Amino acid sequence: MTRAALVFHERDHALGVRNVGSIGPALRTSGFETTTFSFEGDSRDADRPAASSFDLIVLMGSPDAAYDDALPWLAEEIAWLGDAVAQRVPVLGVCFGGQLLARVLGGTVTRAAESEHGFVTVRTECDELIPQGPWMQFHDDTFTLPPGAEPLATTAAALQAFVSGPHIGLQFHPEITVDVFESWIEGWDARGVRAEVESSVDVPAIRAEVARREQTSIEACSRLIDAVLARAGVSR
């Protein structure tokens, strides 16, 4: 059985599993056995397999910053991800996951000059791999292109995707569904930051748009996962 690790970044395990969204079903439809875990919160002490035991690793988003070395779990995850890269296990990084992948590959992660929230059409250099979208955005940070990597997509605000060998980093959220967005809101409530988020983001408008676009988003995610697997050469 082909195995995929789905690494979420959420203190509450149940919320973290929901964060995976449509990526999990897309991989299972493609014949993958998925293992979902985190390096923080309820999952911190879980028995995590070595990165090399997987055929694919997917790193999900996070409310935290990929440059915040004060996070008590970040160094462990960076080391685990570094081992995956050294073993050439294909990695798909999503938002925070894409930023962390960029960092491990030698790029940098910083606060963005311009945040992006909601659905945004990207400019793609490779429509077969990253279609124009629109894709769901929800980020205040950004990454630079790692040495030797190729840019795949951009917006006026940020680099949106890159490829480096078998690895692909994304700034946007292909996994978005109604339940994913609701799990984010519940996570903001748990962390006591919902009011802060809603002070600068029109959450009701985005929530409504997520609902309108849900089926289209699920189908786009499935196509993207198929393209990622083909690009990485992962056999199914």
Catalytic pick among 95, 116, 209, 221:
95
Q: What is the pLDDT of residues 78-88, one digit of tens each?
A: 999 999 999 99
Q: Is 6 helix (H, G, I), strand (E, B) or coil?
A: strand
How high is the pLDDT of residue 88? 94
Q: Which of 139, 167, 173, 221 is catalytic?
A: 173
Which of the following is catalytic: 116, 175, 209, 221? 175
In this prediction, the residues of the chain whose per-residue pLDDT falls under 70 are 42-47, 235-236
Q: Where are the alpha helices (DSSP H) in the chain?
A: 13-19, 23-29, 74-86, 96-104, 178-191, 194-198, 203-212, 214-232
The predicted structure's pLDDT at residue 89? 97
pLDDT for the residue numbered 65: 97
Residue 95 is among the residues annotated as catalytic for this protein: yes
175 catalytic? Reply is: yes
- 140: burial class by Cβ within 10 Å (0-12, 13-18, 19+)? middle
State how far the Cα of 159 lies from the Cα of 122, in Å rounded to an integer: 9
Return the pLDDT at 133.
Answer: 82
The whole-number pLDDT of residue 167 equals 97
Q: What's the pLDDT score for residue 132?
A: 86
Helix (H) / strand (E) element for 87: namely none
